[in-house]
């Protein structure tokens, strides 16, 4: 692959992108230009990246940038990237589902089918009648050959057609995308047809259907009348005012101009942005409410309720009559509730720029021309409601039906809960993935029904409600009592005896309603936890209660979550929203809510495209646990040379609400190391092979640090059992195959280093290719495998079709065990799809594109002392190939490593145990020393501190940089000065340096950075001085410090900070 060529292309793209763009727009593109490898992409994959949506949330100044991918001028559908930047233009979150290797995956670039033929084929698949012949309203334009055909009277909208790329397995199929809106409005289809042969590829529906279960208990009809009108001037509406949920929950009232001046500055009946209403009916800027009993899906003369010149919408309501008798009252209720939802959500960030529903956006961003078409008493169905959400700039449609479970029938237009539920479908669709992308909530673990249920619950909360109350939704339409179970598997309640949902339940609940119920349960718990903390505020427009905070967090999180989010994605978006909007003030409260429902710190979502692969967990992150906590760090954290010093840092933290007394920390010396005398800080000392630190009082929320040093034993270090850089030919390996005839072979095309590697081709036929050690390998007591590899095999976003594994055998190849569970570094990436004929179907594999060489390691401790064979295995299915798998630089070590551990005990009985991160610090063989050290001391000296160090001999020593830090781990160092060395000498020499930039009462940590003539560096131990306390800190006898020089690829580590700090 010519990466230089595509680097140049990427640079050209950046120049073209940056010239017309400024600020966040350019920074979002630059982010992916810098970090494309982290997302499995190559530079050429970004050349067609375009900003699709961009807006800033005014309340927290977070900018959301949503990107689409194109190739050769055609959009790659079903994928997206997003970058979110804070007020300082710092990237706080990024997501990507972009397709890699576009050029390799694109099939053909010219369609074999015309737009007319594709449209007819799509309509035939759906059983939709089209006008004959199709009448073109526009000419084909651009690379996508986009065109519009007249729908005439047979469709609700004109037909739009364009060419797109459709990801399919590991290919990009050229497809015609056809958009069809049938006259019954039950579906709004986007169909993709193969542009070559006309076969069906995929279809999406912009319509969200809400179906309801069997009825509950029948109630008697109720006749309601409202109180007298208030003495205010403006439009008036006699309605069941929020927070009333339905006629079963209270009486109507006459409201005078309930519009919000911020969200609807010219009222609800304006469309021109000038004072005065343009309509006297239930039509305005945010919604056009009309009756549609014939299911015509468009307004007819007299189908809207008319309030006259005074805009008085005060109509009689007699619920003992059939719904047709009170149509105008129902239209008024629908118009009112939909407008209130618009106005309240506007205050929380569902604005014009974010893709809300308005005819006139008043110059405040967004596309406009998309008020909701709200159809009351729709004749298209019963006992249901639906909401159709097209992209920003296209009008959505809300269809409200009658309920036939009682006599007389009931009208869903009178149920605020149902109206709010439907409205929230539009909210979640427009905010997730940006207002121009409405394909993000059709996957297995989507939570659209959950956000809708929760929004309906939220705006119907009343003062005096309790979280433990049982709340059922849809009780009015179902003819249930107000405390009836409603439409979901269980009522909503924070009481686990009423609603015991946890995350694993989505595997067995229905989809999407059961999945949504689960997410709404989590959000309902979150809401009440915030109310318990901040109280309830009935003012939804300017309130400061826990309910207001919850609504703000949920709206913010929808903007931050990735396209096709799962429960853990949505959880993390809520946590990030809290960080960005409230500085993380509710972080632990949120974690407690999530943990209670199985979405704790260790919960694993798996793929959001499946409900069967998640794992619930009920734990909290360390920062939120009310306990004594201990963490251990070792520096350097990866590799140390035998004879070199290691710095152990222990951090104790009290996250309890009460203090802890006499907290004693104990750290046993790890095998393979010896204590550096006087290196323990804060009075620590060596006692019977353990470093013990005196007890300390820890107040609530406090943290203390303690440290000491050990020297790695010169006689114990890692040895190499087997190493092959593939430059010596095929001696160590043998090749064979199962299915097919393809085999591994040596290649000079892409070596990791040198000139050769092993390579297995990803062929377009079924194959099973083996590369095995030729002779068994006897493992030591701590065996460890490392290899470098690069792969590019056929894979989709979640499933693979071709891929490789690494396996081990202890019986000479008679049977093989997958090493997947013990891999570190680059682990398996995909699961091979079933039904493809692949010999590895159903198994985890390396697949997709690694974008160059990556390192993988495996802990072989389970096979210590045994003779083993190791093999690399690539399997392919019967169709579609890719590049293949390269393997190079295979090494097996007998590992010697040092890992720290420790424990702390308080007088109250609290205790904690911890180890440093596995596998610990690897000890490598000793090397020659540039400086023979004797001593390093730090002493108070007048008003300063004097450093003294002595060498016995030096070789190629340029000198020493003196460093100081306020931290004992020397993570934040200040260079104080430079002291020249003696070059090469066999004579001893003593050096002095005085630090006069200190203050009495402080604690100071020092070390030396020794530099050779060839630029290699070493670090001294850290010495600590507390002022004003006098006394010498003497680290002699001082251990030998090694010269750090690790030629690659020894353990794959390079760097200069491998000293004792």
Q: Which residues are catalytic?
A: 422
Looking only at the bridges linking them, the beta strands covering 410-411 and 703-712 are unpaired
Q: Shortest CA distance to 157 belongs to which of 467, 396, 398, 448?
A: 396
Where are the strands (E) in 921-1052, listed by range?
921-924, 931-941, 944-965, 973-985, 989-995, 1003-1012, 1017-1019, 1023-1026, 1033-1034
End-to-end alpha carbon distance in the chain: 42
Alpha-carbon gap, residue 849 to 58, rounded angstroms: 39
Record the tokens describing residue 612, joined without a space. Answer: 């069967």
CB 831 within 8 A of CB 845: yes
Tell me which residue has tokens 């364009």.
162
Alpha-carbon gap, residue 1046 to 1061, rounded angstroms: 18
Instruction: Look at the alpha carbons of 391, 199, 831, 504 in this order and tell me if their dihedral is positive or negative.
Output: positive
Alpha-carbon gap, residue 858 to 1053, rounded angstroms: 17
A 10 A CB-CB count for 371 gives: 23
DSSP 3-state assignment of 340? Answer: helix
Tell me which residue has tokens 């070789």.
955
**Element spanning 506, H or E:** none
User: Which runs of consecutive H residues, i.e. helices, occur in 65-142?
Assistant: 102-105, 115-126
Alpha-carbon gap, residue 945 to 965, rounded angstroms: 13
Distance (Å) of CA 498 to CA 450, 480, 493, 494, 595: 18, 18, 6, 8, 18
Instruction: Look at the alpha carbons of 379, 385, 389, 394 in this order and tell me if their dihedral is positive or negative.
Output: positive
Instruction: Look at the alpha carbons of 114, 117, 123, 126 in this order and tell me if their dihedral is positive or negative.
Output: negative
**Element spanning 334, H or E:** helix 327-347
Q: Shortest CA distance to 914 belongs to which of 640, 681, 691, 628?
A: 628
CB 282 within 8 A of CB 335: yes
DSSP 3-state assignment of 675? Answer: strand
Phi and psi at residue 558, in whole multiples of 5°?
-60, -35
CB 719 within 8 A of CB 782: no
Record the tokens describing residue 397, joined without a space. Answer: 């449609």
Instruction: Look at the alpha carbons of 856, 861, 865, 869 in this order and tell me if their dihedral is positive or negative.
Output: negative
Record the tokens describing residue 432, joined without a space. Answer: 């997730």
CB 546 within 8 A of CB 535: yes
Alpha-carbon gap, residue 223 to 241, rounded angstroms: 16
Record the tokens describing residue 277, joined without a space. Answer: 């209403």
CB 339 within 8 A of CB 264: yes
**Residues 6 or more apart whose Cβ sits within 8 Å of residue 510:** none
Looking only at the bridges linking them, the beta strands covering 189-194 and 287-291 are unpaired
Distance (Å) of CA 354 to CA 414, 914, 1052: 29, 47, 47
Phi and psi at residue 234, in whole multiples of 5°?
135, 180
Q: Which residues pair with 992 in a beta bridge?
A: 948
DSSP 3-state assignment of 362? Answer: coil
Q: State CA 400 to chain mean position distance.
A: 35
Phi and psi at residue 290, in whole multiples of 5°?
-145, 155
């Amino acid at each position: 692959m010519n990466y230089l060529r595509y680097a140049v292309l990427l640079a050209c793209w950046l120049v073209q992108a940056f010239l017309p763009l400024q600020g966040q727009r350019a920074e979002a593109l630059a982010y992916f230009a810098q970090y494309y490898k982290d997302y499995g992409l190559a530079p050429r994959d970004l050349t067609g990246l375009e900003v699709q949506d961009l807006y800033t949330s005014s309340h927290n100044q977070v900018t959301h940038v949503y990107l689409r991918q194109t190739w050769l001028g055609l959009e790659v559908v079903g994928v997206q990237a997003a970058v979110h930047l804070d007020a300082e233009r710092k990237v706080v979150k990024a997501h990507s589902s972009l397709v890699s290797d576009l050029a390799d995956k694109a099939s053909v670039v010219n369609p074999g089918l015309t737009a007319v033929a594709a449209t007819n084929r799509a309509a035939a698949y759906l059983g939709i009648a089209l006008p004959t012949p199709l009448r073109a309203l526009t000419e084909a334009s651009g690379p996508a050959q986009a065109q519009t055909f007249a729908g005439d009277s047979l469709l609700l909208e004109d037909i739009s057609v364009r060419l797109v790329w459709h990801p399919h397995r590991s290919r990009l199929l050229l497809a015609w995308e056809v958009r069809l809106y049938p006259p019954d409005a039950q579906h709004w289809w986007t169909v993709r047809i193969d542009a070559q042969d006309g076969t069906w590829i995929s279809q999406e529906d912009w319509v969200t259907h809400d179906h309801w279960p069997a009825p509950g208990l029948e109630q008697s009809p109720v006749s309601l009348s409202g109180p007298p009108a208030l003495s205010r001037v403006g439009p008036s509406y006699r309605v069941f005012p929020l927070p009333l949920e339905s006629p079963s929950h209270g009486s109507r009232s006459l409201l005078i101009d309930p519009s919000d001046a911020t969200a609807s500055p010219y009222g609800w009946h304006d469309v021109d942005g000038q004072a005065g209403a343009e309509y006297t009916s239930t039509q305005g800027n945010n919604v056009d409410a009309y009756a549609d009993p014939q299911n015509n899906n468009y307004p007819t003369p007299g189908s809207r309720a008319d309030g006259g010149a005074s805009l008085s919408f005060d109509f009689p309501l007699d619920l003992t009559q059939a719904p047709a008798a009170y149509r105008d009252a129902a239209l008024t209720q629908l118009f009112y509730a939909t407008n209130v939802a618009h106005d309240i959500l506007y205050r929380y960030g569902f604005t014009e720029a974010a893709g809300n529903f308005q005819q006139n956006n008043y110059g405040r961003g967004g596309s406009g021309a998309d008020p909701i078409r709200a159809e009351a008493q729709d004749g298209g169905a019963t006992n249901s409601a639906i909401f159709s959400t097209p992209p920003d700039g296209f009008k959505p449609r809300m269809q409200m039906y009658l309920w036939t479970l009682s006599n007389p029938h009931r009208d869903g237009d009178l149920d605020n809960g149902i109206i709010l539920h439907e409205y929230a479908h539009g909210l979640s669709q427009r905010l997730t993935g940006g207002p121009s992308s409405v394909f993000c909530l059709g996957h297995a673990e989507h939570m659209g029904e959950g956000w809708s249920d929760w929004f309906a619950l939220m705006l119907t909360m009343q003062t005096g409600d309790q979280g433990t109350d049982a709340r059922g939704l849809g009780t009015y339409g179902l003819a249930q009592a107000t405390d009836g179970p409603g439409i979901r598997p269980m009522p909503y309640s924070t009481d686990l005896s009423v609603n015991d949902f946890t995350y694993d339940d989505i595997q067995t609940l229905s989809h999407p309603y059961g999945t949504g119920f689960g997410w709404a349960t989590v959000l309902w718990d979150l809401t009440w936890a915030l109310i318990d903390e901040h109280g309830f505020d009935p003012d939804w427009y300017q309130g400061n209660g826990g309910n207001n905070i919850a609504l703000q967090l949920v709206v913010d999180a929808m903007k931050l979550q990735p396209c096709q989010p799962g429960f853990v994605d949505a959880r993390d978006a809520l946590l990030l929203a809290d960080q960005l909007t409230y500085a993380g003030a509710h972080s632990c409260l949120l974690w407690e809510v999530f943990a209670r429902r199985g979405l704790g710190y260790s919960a694993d979502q798996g793929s959001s495209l499946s409900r069967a692969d998640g794992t619930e967990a009920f734990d909290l992150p360390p920062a939120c646990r009310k306990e004594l906590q201990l963490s251990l760090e070792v520096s350097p954290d990866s590799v140390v040379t035998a004879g070199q010093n290691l710095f152990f840092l222990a951090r104790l933290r009290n996250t309890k609400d009460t203090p802890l007394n006499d907290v004693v920390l104990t750290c046993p010396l790890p095998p393979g190391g010896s204590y550096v005398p006087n290196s323990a800080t804060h009075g620590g000392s060596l006692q019977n092979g353990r470093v013990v630190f005196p007890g300390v009082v820890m107040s609530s929320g406090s943290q203390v640090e303690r440290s000491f040093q050990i020297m790695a034993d010169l006689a114990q270090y890692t040895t190499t059992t087997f190493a092959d850089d593939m430059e010596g030919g095929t001696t160590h390996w043998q090749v064979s195959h199962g299915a097919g005839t393809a085999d591994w072979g040596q290649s000079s095309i892409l070596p990791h280093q040198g000139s050769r590697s092993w390579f297995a081709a990803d062929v377009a036929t079924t194959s099973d290719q083996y590369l095995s050690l030729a002779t068994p390998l006897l493992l030591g007591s701590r065996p460890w495998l490392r290899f470098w590899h690069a792969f590019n095999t056929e894979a989709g976003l979640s499933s693979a079709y071709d891929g490789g594994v690494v396996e081990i055998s202890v019986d000479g190849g008679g049977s093989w065990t997958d090493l997947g569970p013990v891999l570190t570094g680059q682990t398996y990436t995909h699961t091979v799809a079933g039904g493809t004929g692949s010999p590895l179907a159903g198994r985890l594999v390396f697949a997709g594109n690694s974008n160059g060489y990556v390192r993988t390691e495996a802990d072989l401790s389970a096979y210590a002392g045994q003779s083993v064979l190791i093999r690399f295995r690539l399997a392919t299915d019967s169709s579609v190939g890719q590049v293949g798998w390269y393997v190079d630089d295979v090494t097996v070590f007998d590992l010697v490593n040092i890992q720290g551990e420790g424990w702390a005990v308080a007088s109250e009985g609290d205790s904690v145990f911890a180890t440093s991160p596995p596998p610990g610090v690897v000890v490598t063989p000793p090397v020659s020393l540039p400086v023979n050290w004797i001593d390093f001391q730090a002493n108070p000296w007048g008003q300063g501190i004097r450093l003294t160090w002595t060498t016995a001999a030096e070789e190629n020593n340029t000198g020493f940089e003196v460093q100081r830090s306020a931290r004992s781990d020397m993570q934040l160092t200040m260079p104080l000065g430079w002291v020249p060395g003696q070059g090469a000498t066999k004579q001893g020499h003593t050096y002095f340096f005085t630090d006069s930039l200190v203050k009495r009462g402080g604690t100071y940590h020092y070390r030396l950075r020794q530099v050779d003539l060839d630029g290699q560096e070493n670090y001294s131990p850290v010495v600590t001085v507390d002022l004003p306390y006098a006394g010498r800190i003497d680290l002699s006898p001082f251990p030998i410090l090694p010269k750090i020089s690790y030629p690659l690829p020894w353990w794959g580590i390079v760097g200069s900070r491998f000293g004792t700090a």
